[in-house]
Structure 1
Amino acid sequence: MKLIGLDIGTTSLCGVVVDTQTSAIVDQKTRSNDASVAGEGHAYLQDASRIFSIVQDIVQELLGRHRDVAAVCVSGQMHGVLYLDKDGRPVSPLFTWLDGRGNLHCDGKRTYRDAFAGLTGYEVPTGYGLLTHFVNVQKGEVPSDAAALCTIADYVTAKLANIAHPVTEPTLAASLGVFDLVKSRFDEEALLRAGIRPMMLPTVVPSCTVVGHMDDGVQVVTGVGDNQASHIGSVQSLADTLLVNVGTGAQLSLMVHEHVSVPGFETRPFPGNRYLLVSATLGGGKSYALVESFFRQVLELCGVATQEPQYGAMDHLLAKASQENLRNDSRQRSGSGAAPGALVHTTLTVSPQFYGTREDPSSRGAITNISEDNFTPLDLMVGVLDGIAIELHQYVKALPGTLQMNIKHLVGAGNAIRKNVYLASIVQDIFGRSLLVPRHREEAAVGAALCAGVGVGAYESFNEAAADVIDYALPS
């Protein structure tokens, strides 16, 4: 059979087709997410109906080329929330995970985030859906005809499955906040203390449950969080692989069999009654993009105004410096494996927390140990890339020894890893392991397709599905 996996990202939407007979990804369609709409200063909104329209176009195009599709599953950007009426129609925009209003002060002293934590007993990061809903409740901005709230993946799943009330599963439900991971349900008593009515919540069912059918009979499986979907779509051996995903932000994720709490990590549900330890930074590729933007501003200062990205020039400078290191036989870091050239060193120290951290949004980055020898564009670039990898590795060092010893493989994913070979080499070097990168690029969409396959019995387990479809390459 064939399976469709969909991924609703913040900036793009993608659909892939996996053929279980040939164990291959046989088709793919990607569209820009042009659904952004204007909002107040700290809001980040998208048009949910526009998103579904794009998804519908992708699905119909893929079905037009593949008539033997058995099931579809939607992966979606986590944490965001939208409101639906009693018939399942959107009555609000999607408040995405980038919505920052939880950090605003609600009474002159406390932020909405602090007030919500005091009422519920849950520390919920800004951008998580139920904190966003709390802000809307406090400000009187919940639509009068709102009958339910849900994530964007839940909404699209309900529309595809022709059901009115949204159905969710643990990975997406937990991304809204105030979710009991052990009991696998929302903590309704805590929400009532915050003035949130449980009747607004989506129905929670097990992951990979068939919730309905499309008009042409294709089975629709519950959605899945894009974090978990990316892990499933990237990792062959779930039990002993650490995934480093660097895109706009950066994440580490490690699947564990039992519920554990580790400082610096969030414990999230994982399909199959497992859990995913996740640490996330807000910088990642976004921090390196800040350097590129700085260089363009310098060009403008010199009278060369341009909107052309300068990553090509930056890559050229890194490659040139690497080749000079090789020619000079300068000192090289150990364990760099398949690095394309000698890693360039800098004595500049960069903490790339330019956008704060999830734990402390007010935290800021720093550039230290500046001297006349290292105050150069190259040192700034290398310092930021080093800082991205080092910040992630600090979380690994905080893992209990038993979990660290269990890690046998390191997998890299995300556009920043794929597009910046030098970053991949630095990650490989600092983590001290060869970095494997999936040959396919749309990890979350592939993970969603594998969830669809498990949901309809095409695969007995995720390990079987991953071994069947995922293939690796060294960074090149």
Structure 2
Amino acid sequence: MGAVHIGLDIGTTNITMVVLDLEQQSVPSSRSIPNVRYQTGESYAYAQDPVAIEQAVRSLLAQVKQPIGSLCVTGQVHGIVYHDAAGKAVSPLYTWLDRRAMEAIDGVDSQHLLYEKTGVLLPSGYGLLAHYANRRLGKVPEESTGFCGILEYVTGRLIGSVLDRSDPSCLGPFGAFDPVASHFNSNVLQEVFGSTEPRFLDSCTPFALAGYTPEGIPVAYPVGDNQAGFFGMVSDWQHSVLVSMGTSGQLSLFSTDSNCPSSMELRPFLGEGFLHVGATLTAGKAYETVQRFIASTIRSAGMDISDEAVFTLMKQTGQTEGKPGALQIDTRLNGSRKDPAVRGSIRGIDLDNLTLGNLVIGTIDGIVDELHQFSTESGERFAKMQRIIATGSSVRKNPLFKDALGRAFRLPTTIAEVDDGAGFGAALIAAVATRALGRNESRSLVGKLLGT
């Protein structure tokens, strides 16, 4: 029985394990456990339980019957968890959806105070900004000796050691990280930590091993879900654009050029170049919000209906009655990375077009249009793209999303038929880290298995 390679994706909604068997050369299987929100009693908090996350990861690994040749952790970035000297969590995971940095203290919120002090504006939810806010709020645990992201935390727990470095794809989302020079802004670190000689995570080399589990399994340094997803779902980097629709949305273009539009983020990509990324704060979350509204309306009329039945109703009504363009819906329900205060809206309502079908289509078009704006700003770089590769449960389960992508981008759209592209990419990265697979071989395998 040959060894398999494992990708662990710690997402906002689910924790997923992807099992890759290189000998079989087939689309890998995956298993998931829900990753629920943890209530802290703070109105601005969006937290999860790092202890429960670790337990879920170990439970998934225990289900693998074959020998494990390597593993790599990927998933949500930006957030932080505090740990003690032994590497055990002493706080919740404050996720990328957390808004503590927007809480005013002495008349100014932490985001704007950090900007006043350093000239660097970090988006809400970024790790360094979250720690800065916690210092001002008095929320840093006394027993804490440091903090890291959930990916570093879980990787460290698996190998029994606190990580002192991580892949640059994980470091960027903490904020104030230079993806070209691969280091943090020292002025920001000094202000955030309140120290003239702050110590924080350093960069590791791509495809490096962080250590080994007690059972001797090689564990690669964690990789951000955006980069892992691109690595796992795109074989033609130069001519394909990856559109991801999960809780949030992302549009990713590969480039060797470090210059990208100001509205997009420059992210390091495994030592091969960069990803130009346009990221939204809501995608599936916006669609889910409409679903909750419809469900509450139906239930308030005294009718019992399941959430799944509501989603089915939305899809059917959108297909049969929805008209593109009838309603113009801004789906920035939780703000944007550049403007956390902006909110969504519905425009173009007349006496006849406020229907369920139009609400569904308008919401989907609004989600896609926010991503399409990034392609417009990319100019010549996007002009080289020959197709869209779309991923996420929304596009796999609902053809209305694929139709909307076609209307907006006017390019052929391929749906990546893999349950978890980031988890698949992490499994490939683990295999490359142990030299069970070459880098170029991995791209050929992606093209063969997924046709992308």
Normalised TM-score (structure 1): 0.89
Q: Name 2:161's counterpart in structure 1.
A: 163
Residue type matched to 2:362 in 1? G
Equivalent-residue separation in structure 1 for 2:362 and 2:31 (angstroms):
36
> Percent sequence identity over matched residues?
31
**In structure 2, do the counterparts of structure 1 residues 66 and 27 end up closer, same or farther at CA, with 3 Å as the change threshold?**
farther
Q: Is the 8 A contact 1:244 1:253 kept in 2?
A: yes
| SS at 2:277 equivalent | strand
Deviation larger for 120-129 or 184-193: 184-193
Q: In structure 2, what is the equivalent of residue 261 of structure 1? A: 260
Distance 1:187 1:346 in 2: 44
1:453 Cα deviation from its structure 2 partner:
1.7
Matched, 1:465 2:414: no
SS of 2:312's partner is: helix
Structure 1: distance between partners of 2:193 and 2:235: 43
**Residue 409 (structure 2) aligned to one of 431, 435, 449:** 431
2:417 maps to 1:417: no
**Greater Cα radius of gyration, structure 1 or 2:** 1
Distance change in 2, residues 1:240/1:52 (3 Å): same
Greater CA drift, 198-207 or 114-123 = 198-207
The aligned residue for residue 54 of structure 2 is: 52
| Unpaired segments ≥5 residues, structure 2 | none
- Range moving further from structure 2, 169-178 or 32-41: 32-41
Contact 2:245 2:391 in 1 (8 A): yes
Q: Name the CA distance, whole Å, in 2 between partners of 1:60 and 1:70.
A: 14
- Summarize deviations over 1:54-95 as a string: whole Å, max 9, x none: 111111221xx111x221100021001011222212122211
Q: Report matched runs for 1:277-292 at 5 Å.
A: 277-292=276-291
How far apart are the structure 1 equivalents of 2:293 and 2:31?
33
1:43 matched to which residue of 2?
45
Q: 1:164 to 1:317 in 2, by over 3 A?
A: closer
Structure 1: how far apart are the matches of 2:442 and 2:159?
Answer: 24
- Range with greater deviation from structure 2 (348-357 or 389-398): 348-357
| More displaced stretch, 115-124 vs 218-227 | 115-124
Residue 389 of structure 1 is matched in structure 2 by: 368
Deviations 1:166-195 (A, max 9, x none): 431201111111212222122233311344
Q: Pick the aligned partner of 1:150 from 142, 148, 164.
A: 148
1:354 equivalent among 326, 333, 345: 333
Indicate the SS of the match to 1:73.
strand
The answer (yes or no) to whether the contact 2:183–2:202 under 8 Å persists in 1 is no
Q: CA deviation at 1:162?
A: 2.3
Partner of 1:125: 123
Compared CA separation, residues 35 and 54, structure 1 to 2 (3 A): farther
Distance 1:345 1:155, change over 3 A: closer
Aligned residue type for 1:458: A
Q: Which residue of 2 aligns with 1:141?
A: 139
Match of 2:31 in 1: 29
For the aligned residue pairs, the C-alpha RMSD in angstroms reads 2.0
Distance across 1 between alignment mates of 2:138 and 2:333? 33
Partners of 2:202 and 2:374 in 1: how far apart?
34
Deviation of 1:210 (Å): 0.7
SS of aligned partner of 2:307 = coil
Equivalences, count: 447
Residue type of the alignment partner of 1:233: G
Asked if 1:189 is matched to 2:187, the reply is yes
Alpha-carbon deviation of 1:398? Answer: 0.8
- Structure 1 residue 367: Cα displacement: 1.6
Change (3 A) 1:418 1:388: same
| Number of the residue aligned with 2:317 | 317
TM-score, with normalisation over the residues of structure 2?
0.93
Can you give the 5+ residue segments of structure 1 that lack an aligned partner in the other structure?
323-343
